Amino acid sequence: MNDLLKVSIEAAINAGKKILEVYENEFEVETKTDNSPLTEADKRSHHAIKDALAPLNIDLLSEEGKLLSYEERKNWKKFWLIDPLDGTKEFIKRNGEFTVNIALVENGYPVAGVVHVPVTGKTYYGSAEAGSFAFTYDPNSSASIEDYINNASKLPDAQAPAVYTVVASRSHNTPETESFIEERRKQHGEVESISSGSSIKLCLVAEGKANVYPRLAPTMEWDTAAGHAVAKFAGCNVYNYETGKELEYNKENLLNPWFVVERN
């Protein structure tokens, strides 16, 4: 698992470099069949990750790869689940709140995950064996990936917020989310709300900077698997809003149910 994590961390950081090559210049925006945006950065990141992980001979499902039928993937016991650029809308807005997500899923649940924020270099990773950690990658440093891993901070690296804090989506807030926050306000009194884009929201709960992240709006499996791993192995629950059960992956329909990320 340590070797798989190292390779996936390296892949995420290198994909982030490919994304920044596009981000720092003018770029065109295409529209996919589901009306979501697509840029050259999404494509470059996808190919960089796919090439990096290919020698490991583990099945791979990527948002920007071939959309495989359930028949083709239903018997997968282990596979990579990837979003090469999570938060394309934030990328287009140039607010920096987008990530590279790489998760390793076994028997329907993430067992390892990496979330890398290209603009800041902040890199979160976690596994069932080791727990969750974070470091900030500096492209101008001579430090190796091993150096970063050896000096990473264990999560959570912050005390629980003094005021109960809810993190919400920058681009996809809903009336249901507002109702959720109001319910928590009744329970906890004062409630602070913070916003962010992409899978950074799951990582804010993992870090201890927020108590809960309700996602009462649509997401896909590749949006959440890596952040799910980071949050889970940092001591958080990632559960179906309706059933209370842990979020599952490689379903026939890759659309996630509404879910909540909450620190125990």
Binding residues for Mg(2+): 63, 83, 85-86, 223
Token couple for 144: 């190796």
Binding site as annotated, residues for substrate: 63, 85-88, 223
Q: Which amino acid is at 178?
A: E
Token couple for 136: 């900030």
CB 96 within 8 Å of CB 76: no
Give the H/E segment covering residue 182.
Answer: helix 175-188
- Rounded to an integer, what distance in angstroms lies between the CA atom of residue 234 and that of residue 216? 22
Binding site as annotated, residues: 63, 83, 85-88, 223
Q: Do the strands 212-215 and 259-263 form a parallel or antiparallel pair, or are they unpaired? A: antiparallel
Q: Is the dihedral of CA 253, 176, 198, 187 positive or negative?
A: negative
b/e 51-70 (16+ beta carbons within 10 angstroms → b) = ebbeeeeebbbbbbeeebee
Kindly give the interhelix angle for 200-207 and 221-232, rounded to the nearest 10 degrees: 10
Render 113-181 in DSSP notation, one character per residue.
Answer: EEEE-TTT-EEEEEETTTEEEEEE--TT----HHHHHHTPEESP-SPPPSSEEEEEESS---HHHHHHH
Residue 32: CB partners within 8 Å, gap ≥ 6? 38
Q: Which amino acid is at 240?
A: N
